[in-house]
Amino acid sequence: MNKSIKNICCIGAGYVGGPTMAVIADNCPDITVNVVDINKDRIESWNSSNLNELPIYEPGLDKIIERRRNKNLFFSNKVQENISNADMIFISVNTPTKKKGLGAGKASDLKWVEACARQVARFAKGYTIVVEKSTLPVKTAEVIKTILEAAELNNACKNLKFEVLSNPEFLAEGTAINDLEFPDRVLIGGENEDAILSLHKIYRNWVPEEKILHTNIWSSELAKLTANAFLAQRISSINSIGALCEATGADVREVARAIGTDSRIGSKFLDAGPGFGGSCFKKDILNLVYLSEYFGLPEVANFWEGIVKFNTWHQHRLSRLIIKKLFGTVSGKKICILGFAFKANTNDTRESAAINICKDLIEEGAILFIHDPKVDPKQIEIDLEKKEKYSNNKLKNQTQTLSEGGWYSTKNIIDSSDGADAIVVLTEWEEYGQLDWEEISRKLRKPAWVFDVRSIIPYDKIKALDLNFWKIGDGSK
Ligand code: UDX
Ligand code: UDX
């Protein structure tokens, strides 16, 4: 049954579901795309007439939403109705690491995926292709399949028929639209050729034939986990060498450039920084660890777990280093944190290195002024598990009276530098590369430090000023 798809439903309007469906709708004007979510606020934001209020910040996304919304792209909470009408259903819900029970701390919690499969089983009509879009542990498709097969048997009179495909998404946040428009590859895993072809035809509207790969379903699931594990491993590798550079007088950027010219290694993903964050890397590696343990391969599990352990160690290493440079104590000292998102061009803070680093500094009594152009202070509050001390306009000159750790959000970097002992750059937002360092230097309390954890501050703008400068992986100064 090579089905021509006219109506798509995507369950989950998150960082993956939202942009992915927008790009499909944009490239396939004949297909109606309904994105549904149980979260009412999120759907309201997707439908906001003010495009600055979309729940996700992604360059280029607003333009597509403007073009397609309410034409062939719809956002709603009508889960049941849209499942019923769909020929193809994408499952794109979150799969957080389990907090308790079997596999706690490592395995993914699949309760949302299972709930979606049950909803699909209940409300779908006729022949429906179910596509797993969330990154999932290997063999999850089997769970979805088993639930759907039970529905086929129980509702024999309704002529229900399901096919399950795995179609992992490789987009990176901040470049989601470009990654979706020009993917390195599209992976479709499945058993049924016709179902694979139906999805293949959708992507062929804009993706070249040779970039669409077909695999079996388990290879597709494992390939996604492996891609993320390899990428994360590169970052831990370069950060480990960065620490060695600092200790020995080398410069990690020079080392990265030298090894990156080796075509077998390649030059991408070799930027030393505060350690990887984001919703996927840690979670996916821990999934690999869990799978390896489950299948009796403890050495494989230990190998991958080491990458995550190193990343956490590296983040705490940075907070310890800042404290050490500030004469061994940050108690009552004002520190400006530039950047809270896990990388530039996103408002996402999941697993951001800034969380551990800020928590450590607050724990040591520092007073943090946190700036990020896109992150909502309410999110920072959730991440730091600590309420903001005062709102920004009330805080002038009050730092002296605060002795305990706490934090404020700020929109003005220059004002916040007033009396601060240090500036710490944690996210590579472009604007941080263009700051007025003369003005900032005048405001800082001397001796003051600038910690550039993203190699974004031009040293020539700083070297003549009365500032101490530290850059990640640079042992040459
Ligand atoms: C990402 C990736 O898609 C996924 O591969 C990874 O496993 C987890 O993180 P993302 O889109 O970034 O997912 O997640 P998120 O932004 O949290 O969006 C998921 C959405 O699904 C939420 O809006 C949530 O409300 C919704 N949801 C969850 C449902 O609509 N129904 C459910 O039953 C559960
Ligand atoms: C990642 C994968 O790249 C993507 O293919 C997958 O679909 C989801 O997970 P994402 O988490 O959005 O995407 O961001 P990515 O650009 O990979 O960066 C992850 C983290 O690594 C960020 O904290 C980033 O700052 C850090 N990073 C990346 C480095 O520290 N150095 C680098 O050279 C590259």
pLDDT at residue 348, as a whole number? 94
Residue nearest to atom 6 of ligand 2 (CA): 170
Q: Specify the 3-state DSSP secondary structure of 27.
A: helix
Q: How many helices (H) and strands (E) does the chain have?
A: 16, 14
Ligand nearest to the CA of 342: 2
Confidence category of residue 245, pLDDT binned at 50, 70, 90: very high
pLDDT at residue 298, as a whole number? 98
- Per mean pLDDT, which range of 8-17, 94-103, 466-475 is the poorest? 94-103
% of the chain with per-residue pLDDT over 70: 96
Confidence category of residue 252, pLDDT binned at 50, 70, 90: very high
- Contact between 218 and 168 under an 8 Å Cβ cutoff? The reply is no
Tokens of 272: 């030393």
Is the model's pLDDT at 67 over the cut of 60?
yes
Give me the active site residues, please: 169, 224, 280
CA of 134 to the centre of ligand 1 (A): 8
For ligand 2, is residue 226 a contact (CB within 6 Å)? Answer: no
Strands 88-91, 367-371: pairing is unpaired
Overall average pLDDT of the 41-69 stretch: 96
Ligand nearest to the CA of 349: 2
Protein residues whose CB sits closer than 6 Å to any atom of ligand 1: 11-17, 37-39, 42, 92-95, 112, 115-116, 134-135, 279
For residue range 399-431, what is the model confidence (pLDDT) as tens digits? 545 557 899 999 999 999 999 999 999 999 999
Is the model's pLDDT at 395 over the cut of 70?
no
- What integer best gives the mean pLDDT of the chain? 94
CA of 171 to the centre of ligand 2 (A): 10
Looking at the DSSP bridge assignments, the partners of residue 283 are none
H or E element that contains 316: helix 298-325
For residue range 143-193, what is the model confidence (pLDDT) as tens digits? 899 999 988 888 776 789 999 999 999 999 999 999 999 999 999 999 999
Q: What single string gives the DSSP state of each residue in 332-395?
A: T-EEEEE--SSSTT----TT-HHHHHHHHHHHTT-EEEEE-SS--HHHHHHHHTS--SS-GGG-
The single residue listed with the structure tokens 């490789």 is 170
Confidence category of residue 1, pLDDT binned at 50, 70, 90: low
Overall average pLDDT of the 326-350 stretch: 96
- Per mean pLDDT, which range of 294-298, 331-335, 397-401, 431-435 is the poorest? 397-401
Looking at the DSSP bridge assignments, the partners of residue 161 are 127
